[in-house]
Amino acid sequence: MTKDVLVTVKGLQSMEDGSPPEEVEMVAKGEYYYKNGHHYIFYNETIEGFTEQNRNSIKISENSVEVKKKGLTNMQMIFEEQKKNISYYVTPFGNLQMGIAATNIDIKEQEKSLELCIDYALEINGEHAADCQIAVSVKEKNSGEFSLSI
């Protein structure tokens, strides 16, 4: 896969309160690297209502996925199947303690694309908040394929 890519991130949250699942989608130009057995994806994210952007990175290893956000919000999420990881989400409105327990990590690597799907339980400040799914699609900019369904 080439360095210049199109990154599509879709998230789905099923909240505990019984409300309908919420879906969000973001598409951005990004950069892809493969080094020492790890996939690296970098892209900028604009947050609605703010001018400052986040610089996001995703590191995919054999047994884990690490997502980092730096900028207006700061966080590090580590996904490992059947293991709960605790981190902090720093926002302009305050800090949250997050627990992330991945139940499934699926990675599909092809010559011109990479697809990642993670199912996980999310805790906020020690309380179960939602069952979530995140799907990331990384495609060469010139591949002509830009969508991923959850």
pLDDT digits (tens, 9 = 90+) for 52-103: 899 999 999 988 999 999 999 999 999 999 999 999 999 888 999 999 999 9
**Residue with more model confidence, 143 or 61:** 61
Retrieve residue 113's tokens.
């694309």
pLDDT of residue 115: 96
pLDDT of residue 144: 54
The C-alpha atoms of residue 71 and residue 44 are separated, in whole angstroms, by 10
With a CB cutoff of 8 Å and minimum separation 6, the contacts of 19 are: none
Percent of the chain with pLDDT over 90: 71
Say if residue 149's pLDDT is above 50.
no
SS3 at position 137: strand
pLDDT of residue 58: 97
Q: How confident is the model at residue 146 (pLDDT cuts 50, 70, 90)?
A: very low
pTM score, whole prediction: 0.87
Torsion of CA 125, 68, 105, 21, to 10 degrees: 50
Q: Are the CB atoms for 83 and 102 separated by under 8 Å?
A: yes
Q: What is the DSSP letter of 19?
A: P
Say if residue 145's pLDDT is above 70.
no
The C-alpha atoms of residue 136 and residue 16 are separated, in whole angstroms, by 24
pLDDT of residue 106: 96
The C-alpha atoms of residue 20 and residue 102 are separated, in whole angstroms, by 22
Q: What angle do CA 1, 76, 14 make, to 5 degrees?
A: 90
pLDDT of residue 147: 45
With a CB cutoff of 8 Å and minimum separation 6, the contacts of 9 are: 25, 26, 27, 28, 134, 135, 136
Say if residue 10's pLDDT is above 60.
yes
SS3 at position 109: strand
